[in-house]
Amino acid sequence: MSTEKERETHVYMAKLAEQAERYDEMVESMKQGYLQKVEDELSKICNDILSIIDEHLIPSSSSGEPTVFYYKMKGDYCRYLAEFKTDQERKEAAELSLKGYEAASVTASTDLPSTHPICLGLALNFSVFYYEIMNSPERACHLAKQAFDEAIAELDTLSEESYKDSTLIMQLLRDNLTLWTSDLPEDGGDDNFKGEESKEKPAEGER
C-alpha cells in the first residue's frame, strides 16, 4: 500500500535531484510523489464509502431495487480500487468487486425487469469490470449483449418515466459492444455489433 512515508521519500529524492541539476529525475520523483498522494486519497474515499455500504446500507435493505443498487455500488467502488492498486491488493479489490456485482445480479434477476435503469446500469458496469479489470472481452461482450437483447425484447413494457434512462443505457451497452468486438477473435462476438477498432474508454452507468 502507498504510504505517507513513501511519498515523502519521493519528494526528498526530487529535492536531491534538483540540487544535483538532474531535472528529469526531479520531475519523475515529483510525479511519483503526487501520484501516491492522489492514490492514498482515492483509497480513503473508496474505503469510507464501502464501509457505509457494508455497515449501514446493505443491512437496511432486504430485497428489490435498493439491494441491487447498493451491491452494484459495492462492485463499482471495489472496481475503482482495482483500477490503480497492484499485486495482491488489486486481486483482493477485484474479487470483492466481482462478489458485489454477482450479488446485485442475483437479486436483479428475480426482483427487477430487464428494462429497469438500475438493472441495465448494473449490466453496463459489470461488463466494464470484465473488460477492464479481468481482461476478458468475450465475457464482457456476452454480458452486455445479453442485457441489451433482453431489454430490447421488453422495450414496449417500459414506463414513460424510465424510458429515457433505460434507452440511454442501452445505447451505451451497444456502443461498448461495438468498441469491444474489435478485440475479439475473428470467429468471436456478434457481427451485428462489429465496428472499427477504437481505443476509447468504455462507457459506464451512474456512479
Binning the chain into helix, strand and coil, the percentages to the nearest 5 are 75, 0, 25
State residue 87's pLDDT score.
Answer: 95
Q: How many of the other CB atoms lie within 10 Å of CB of 56?
A: 10
State residue 94's pLDDT score.
Answer: 98
State residue 204's pLDDT score.
Answer: 67
- Measure CA of the first residue to CA of the last residue in the chain; give whole Å: 25
From first to last of the 207 residues of the chain, give the pLDDT tens digit: 456 666 666 655 555 555 555 556 655 666 777 788 889 999 999 999 999 999 999 999 987 999 999 999 999 999 999 999 999 999 999 999 999 999 999 999 999 999 999 999 999 999 999 999 999 999 999 999 999 999 999 988 888 888 999 999 999 999 999 999 987 776 544 444 443 333 456 766 654
State residue 189's pLDDT score.
Answer: 45
CA separation for the pair 159, 55 (Å, rounded):
34
Cβ within 8 Å of residue 21, ≥6 positions away: none
State residue 192's pLDDT score.
Answer: 43
Q: Distance between alpha carbon 150 and the CA centroid of its chain, in Å?
A: 22
State residue 162's pLDDT score.
Answer: 86
Inter-residue contact 193 to 145 (CB < 8 Å):
yes
State residue 67's pLDDT score.
Answer: 96
**Site of grid cell 515523502:** 8
